[in-house]
Amino acid sequence: MIFSNDEMSMFKKTLHAALLLAPLAAAHAQDASSSVSIYGILDAAATLQKAGSGAPTTKSLDSGVGYGSRLGFKGSEDLGDGLRANFLLEMGLGIDTGTLQQGGSAFGRQAYVGLSAPHWSLTAGRQYSPLWLSMITSEVFGFTYWGNTQATQMQTVSPASVAGDGGFGALSRVNNSIIASGFHGPFTGRLMVAAGEPGRLVNPSVTYAAGPVTATASLARFKQFAKDIPAGAVAAEQNAWDVGATYDFGVAKLFAGYYHYDPSEANIVVKPTTTLATHSLWLGTQVPIGVGRLFAQVISSRFDRTAGVAEGKATTLGLAYEYALSKRTFLYTSYGQVSNNATSSLPLFGGTTSVAPKVAGDDPRALSVGMRHSF
C-alpha cells in the first residue's frame, strides 16, 4: 500500500504522540493499582475531675477521653501475585489546643512501611507492639474511656522517660521495630524485634478468633532503658506478658485478661515506693442497647514493694455509654475512679488523658460528656 505525503505525515504524528503518551499510560495503570487515603478521629469532652479526697474538683475540655484524636495517611499498592506494598503515617492531636501529642512527634502514633500477602505481612518503623494489640483484644474499652487497662501501667515501664522519649510508652508503640505476622485460619501470630534504645526487645504473640470466642497471649522481653540506669551500666533483661479472652453471647460480650510485669532490680536503688512487680486482672462487659453500647469494667491491680512495705493495691472502675448519631459520629459519657490503698498511687486513665493522685492513697475520679467524629 502506498501512502500519500499527507497520510504519511499524519501517521508519523500519531506514532510520535503514542510514544509520548506511553509512559503516562503506564503511570496511570500503576496509579489504578494504588490507593492512598486520609483518615482521622476528633474526640472532645467536657470533664469534671478530682485527684483525691482533699483536692478540688476541676473543669476542663479534654481531647481524647475516648479515642485519641489523630490524623493519618495510609496507602497500598498492588505489586501483583497477591503481593502489596503498604505504608501508614499517623499523628496524635490535641484538638483542645491544636498541638501534637506523643511529645510533639510528627507521626508519634505510628509510622511504618512494609509488604503483605494473603497469609503474611512484614512491616518496619514505629508501630504498635504485639503485647499492646493482645491487650486491646481482651479489654472492653480497647484503651479508650476512663477506667481502661492503661491502669496496668504498661506504658510506664521506663520511670525516667518523658513524652517524646523512646522509652515513653515503650511497650505500646515501639521505635526501630520490625513485625513479622502470619495468618492461618483462626490463628494470627506476630513477632516484633527492635534494636537499640528503647528496644533490644523481642515480643511474640498469638491470637485465636473463631465464632464467638477470641483468645490471645503475648510475651515481651526487653532491656532496661538508658535513662533509668547509671551511665555505662549493662542493661538487664525485663519481662511483661498477658493472657486474655472474650466471648460474645449476642446480648452481651464478656472480656477478661491478666497482665504481669517483672522489672529488673539491677542497676537501680530500691526504695519503699519502687515497684518490684505488677499484677493486673480485669473483667468487663459490652452490651448493645439500640444504636448505642454500654461498657463496664473493673481492674484489680497489685504492686509488689520491698520487704517490710505493704503491697500496693488499687481497684479501677470504668463505665461508659456511647450513642451513634451515624456510622461516623458518636456522643458518649464516661466515668472512672481508682481506689488506692496507702502504698498505691495509681492514676486514672482515659484514652490519651489521665488524672493522677497527689499522694499515695488518693482516689482519682472523672466524669466526661463528649463527642467523637471519624473521617
Assess whether the previous peptide bond of 198 is cis (omega < 30° from 0).
Answer: yes
For 296-340, the pLDDT digits (tens) are 999 999 999 999 999 999 999 999 999 999 999 999 999 999 999
Q: What is the pLDDT at residue 5? A: 54
CA distance linking residue 32 with residue 316, whole number of Å: 50
Query: How confident is the model at residue 249, as a pLDDT?
Result: 98
* Three-state DSSP string of 215-239: EEEEEEEEECCHHHCCCCCCCCEEE
Interval 26-41 mean pLDDT: 75
Q: What is the pLDDT of residue 1?
A: 42
Which pLDDT tens digit goes with each residue over 59-73? Answer: 999 999 999 999 999
pLDDT score, position 325: 98
The confidence band for 17, taking pLDDT boundaries of 50, 70 and 90, is very low
Q: Name the amino acid, one letter, at 279.
A: H
Residue 223 in this model has a pLDDT that exceeds 70? yes
Higher pLDDT, 9 or 244: 244
Place of cell 525516667: 160
Between CA 116 and CA 118 the distance in angstroms is: 7
Q: Which residues partner with 34 through β-bridges?
A: 77
Strand pairing partners for 122? 115, 180
pLDDT at 367 over 70: yes
Task: Tell me if the pTM is above 0.85.
Answer: yes
- Tell me 298's DSSP state: E
The predicted pLDDT at position 154 comes to 87
Quick one: which of 232, 108, 110, 222 has its CA closest to 157?
222
Q: Quick one: CATH architecture of 37-374?
A: Beta Barrel (2.40)
Q: Which of 85-99, 102-116, 159-173, 273-287 has the lowest mean pLDDT?
A: 159-173
Percentage of the chain exceeding pLDDT 90? 83
C-alpha distances in Å from residue 34, one per residue of 30, 38, 76, 140: 7, 14, 6, 35
